[in-house]
Chain A
Amino acid sequence: MRATVLVRPKAGILDPQGEAVGSALGHLGFAVRDVRVGKVIDLELEVADATAAKAEVEQMCERLLANSLIESYEIEVTP
């Protein structure tokens, strides 16, 4: 299975990188109300079962991939 983890700065946490990107987009003439910058982690897993894969990736997020104080995450599993 493949999995994609989307890690975002939690709502309410100052994201200066997002603000800088938003300001740059403004200079380019784009009307953007808010920008938040996160990260994408692509994983290729040994596990063949989607439910098991999701459970395993959730463990990875809790233990390492995201810091729950400052980040939220979403997991997408594909064959």
Chain B
Amino acid sequence: MAVSGPRRPRVGVVTYPGSQDDRDALWALGALDAEALPVWHSDPELPELDAVVLPGGFSYGDYLRCGAIARFSPVTAAVRDFAERGGLVLGICNGFQILCEADLLPGALLQNASLRFVCRDVRLRVERDDLPFTSRCREGQRLVIPVKHGDGRYLPPPDLDPAQVVLRYVDNPNGSVDDIAGVCSAAGNVMGLMPHPEHAVDPLLGSDHGALLLASLVDAARERALATA
């Protein structure tokens, strides 16, 4: 049967050499009714997309600094163009590190204060619910979403606008300044976070709170798809 009505929003998920959570991100976005499209790191241009996700992993082996080399991948230049035109970009874990290294988000991510890799569920507090990434949440809401990283200690620049803080840890797992777990760009169309929403989209996985963030993104992508239809 031919399906009428608007097309599903297209969300690209970038695979860098060493990306690891790209498949989970594709699966989660598909489950949330997006058309999830894989994007390859050497692609100098993006296909027609309504949003882009940079997934977790260890791009380029985390050599030099996490995200420092992925910043210069051809696809990252295309993601930068997309973001500068107002496109929605979400960076998860290593994706967050890449966006910081690429100056699409403020700050830097350093080795955990404990020097240990941390892999567990953390509690988060939603600081803003007016973003394309948090519209299904409400301010002050607590989310349970897993982290798994060795370099997640967020250091903001001295002039960070507090309004750019989107998520805070309730129980800070890595020594991040001001308990910051996720930030957005000044314009609000780019966001990065260390926790992994794509690993928390079904109660069978321990929590489905990650779906609130990803479904918010899919909603916003759908609105953009309609606007351009």
Contact = CB atoms under 8 A, between A and B. Distances in A.
Answer yes or no: are A and B bound together in one complex. Answer: yes
Interface of A: 13-14, 16-17, 20, 64-65, 67, 69-70
20 contacts: A13-B110, A13-B155, A14-B113, A16-B111, A16-B113, A16-B114, A16-B115, A16-B175, A17-B111, A17-B115, A20-B115, A64-B64, A64-B69, A65-B64, A67-B68, A67-B101, A67-B108, A69-B107, A70-B108, A70-B155
Interface in B149-175: 153, 155, 157, 175
Interface residues of B, number: 18
Contacts of A69: 107-108, 155, 157
Contacts, number: 31
B110 to A, nearest CB: 6
Contacts of B80: none
A7 B66 CA distance: 15
Contacts of B110: 13-14, 70
A41 to B, nearest CB: 9
Given A16-B112, A64-B68, 12 more contacts: A14-B110, A14-B113, A14-B153, A17-B115, A20-B115, A64-B64, A64-B69, A64-B72, A65-B64, A67-B101, A69-B107, A70-B110
B65 interface: yes
Nearest to A70: B108
Interface of B: 64-65, 68-69, 72, 101, 107-108, 110-115, 153, 155, 157, 175
Contacts of A70: 108, 110, 155
A16 B175 CA distance: 10
Main secondary structure of the interface of B (DSSP, over half): loop
A20, A65, A69, A70 pick with most chain B CB within 10 angstroms? A69
Nearest to B115: A16
Nearest to A64: B68
B173 to A, nearest CB: 14
Contacts of A16: 111-115, 175
Contacts of B108: 67, 69-70
A23 to B, nearest CB: 11
A2 B72 CA distance: 25
